[in-house]
Structure 1
């Protein structure tokens, strides 16, 4: 399967987006880039999160960076109501997965963290982000429990997924009321949700439990549901954890237990033979399963510079130095030989305009920098702009 490498540069008012992939698969990859991007979930979301990209954002708002990311990848990102979308961020990554890019964005925002689930990504206060996936799991299980005592047709309506996106100035209280009504439910106490107005959000289809958890968690609420279809909004409990069992091969139990202790020194594990019972967050359970398998992080090398193609738009009047700094911020090394001091400053202050679409590196760098009077040497690990000797 072709691996796409995405780059997004945001420098003040300059936005430069690059797409790069191995030249051997460029034609096939280019065809896929023309399709409109929609919010993805499940396996498509997992694949989108595994894509590699680089991000350089300087002087750009959190909202703008998140919007660009979602547009490029299809990964739905929801900002908690308590996070200021106008926060100016400074982020620079190398070629990393979209998952790592999202974490880097969240870490650039004061008192924020990311929760990456199977339907969407949430960026909010650390406490709210840390508990979200576990709350979602608990509510899914609660819905499953009422199945035994609920009419079959009513249950199918309850668990069906529906359009979950909302528009600008949406009121969360009304969102909950409408979602419950669509699911055949009634909210007993909607007035506990404070009045608020939210910016638009694009999401994949969600069932009621997932949608209500996403909305209510932002007010430190969750919900209870009975078999009559009555929803009661309640405070989130102090501890949000789930109990799960993990089966380990008997001959590997000692090694697995050692890996678990190294990763989670304070974790309480109850063993019964080769079966371990653990009460923890969903993310902890997932990591425990990885450690059972002995999984280690997989490092994927990005394609060399000469094997990439680029799409780039640079507005007229942009200094050459700005574009070079952007490229260097993404791990594309650019070295200038034969110019220093005032002569180097003169080169960097020259302005340029550029618009190319999926151009191979050999053509792209010569078009971008060849007009400076330099010889452009494109290597796998760097680009060298070579001028004649200083003073000549």
Structure 2
């Protein structure tokens, strides 16, 4: 099974339900770590159809208590005319945003949304400042303190320069260059579980600034130096040096004894590491896959509001429920496949699922050994 699809069992399916702003949630209620990864991989499906960027993020994030931020350079009111296919949120949301030239980057347990041409550098900037911090002459205790995470919350009309100053004060960082962040007013929001360096990076990056650490542990905000790159070493057999370099020609390569060094963005270097593991025969053995359960043995948690019947049936079938229906016969019998369906089930068994679905859709069902036959009453 594709790792990104593991969240499909037990079934968690969310269709169209436009609700309030996730940014109003208290930071302690927002998901982190494993909770964030579970929420990020929840399977969703929605018809966006002209909703704004902020509305889409409110919808997808608020019910899951995910912290998110929109880069100031992206218009939050820009409309998205696209659909999110039945897929994990980590796949569906980037697909929606791609239709307007925007993208998503995950920093810690935060979703950062912005123009694609700007987002591609964010993770690398965050990693670059982390590496620089480790290379300073600060003692180990001070480095450990700066590696601790914090939450940052702000109300509407907050000034980003003051937010950056607040982070520096809380972490006791001697920070220069704050005056380069211009006067601006932001909508309320959160950044959770980030180090001070990561938080300052996310704030400053939106003004084309980056955090630089000096050898003595002082720091400053400076204009982003392009191209944004970091260097990593890889242990590769010498016989595979050329093959590795030719696989990633866009990277700057050098040799350090038996090791290969590459300079590039974090995402590119992660791809190198994955390729080396596969090419070198070091790829971890996959765990034995469990035999899939009979769908009748599964439990289902569904929340569906005002979703077209046709979409609901297709979504359930895509999740392995062997629904069988004759669309022409249903239409001839007066069943409207565009009719809105509403369901709210938690840990329902197969019979409870089908009973609730058919009651809402005004259908009959019969569960057989091979499928579920749907028909008009």
TM-score higher than 0.5 here?
yes
Q: Which residue of 1 is the match for residue 48 of structure 2?
A: 58
CA contact (8 A) 2:10 2:299 kept: no
When structure 1 is superposed on structure 2, of 188-197 and 370-379 the one drifting more is 370-379
Q: 2:336 aligns with which of 338, 347, 350?
A: 347
Q: Which residue of 1 is the match for residue 90 of structure 2?
A: 99
Matched, 1:218 2:206: yes
State the shift of 1:210 in Å. Answer: 0.5
Query: What is the total number of aligned residue pairs between the two structures?
Result: 351
CA contact (8 A) 2:157 2:186 kept: yes
Q: 2:14 aligns with which of 8, 22, 44?
A: 8
CA contact (8 A) 1:305 1:379 kept: no
Alignment of 1:29-108 (within 5 A): 38-41=30-33, 45=36, 49=40, 51-59=41-49, 60-73=51-64, 75-89=66-80, 90-96=82-88, 98-108=89-99
Question: What is the TM-score normalised by the length of structure 1?
Answer: 0.74
State the shift of 1:54 in Å. Answer: 2.8
Matched, 1:364 2:353: yes
CA contact (8 A) 1:305 1:382 kept: no
**CA offsets 1:145-195 (integer angstroms, 9 cap, x no match):** 33x1x4676555544322223333322111001111111134433222122
Q: 1:44 to 1:244 in 2, by over 3 A?
A: farther
Secondary structure of the residue aligned to 1:347 is coil
Q: Which residue of 1 is the match for residue 151 of structure 2?
A: 163
Distance in 2, Cα, partners of 1:139 & 1:341:
61
Q: Which residue of 2 is the match for residue 293 of structure 1?
A: 277
Structure 2 portions without partners, runs of 5+: 1-5, 21-27
**CA offsets 1:108-132 (integer angstroms, 9 cap, x no match):** 3x12122234443322112221111
Question: What is the TM-score normalised by the length of structure 2?
Answer: 0.76
Structure 1 portions without partners, runs of 5+: 16-35
Matched, 1:322 2:308: yes
Distance in 2, Cα, partners of 1:303 & 1:206:
39
Moved over 6 A (4+): 300-304, 379-382
Q: Which residue of 2 is the match for residue 128 of structure 1?
A: 118
State the shift of 1:72 in Å. Answer: 4.9
State the shift of 1:105 in Å. Answer: 3.6
State the shift of 1:342 in Å. Answer: 6.3
Alignment of 1:97-246 (within 5 A): 98-108=89-99, 110-146=100-136, 148=137, 150=138, 157-226=145-214, 230-246=218-234
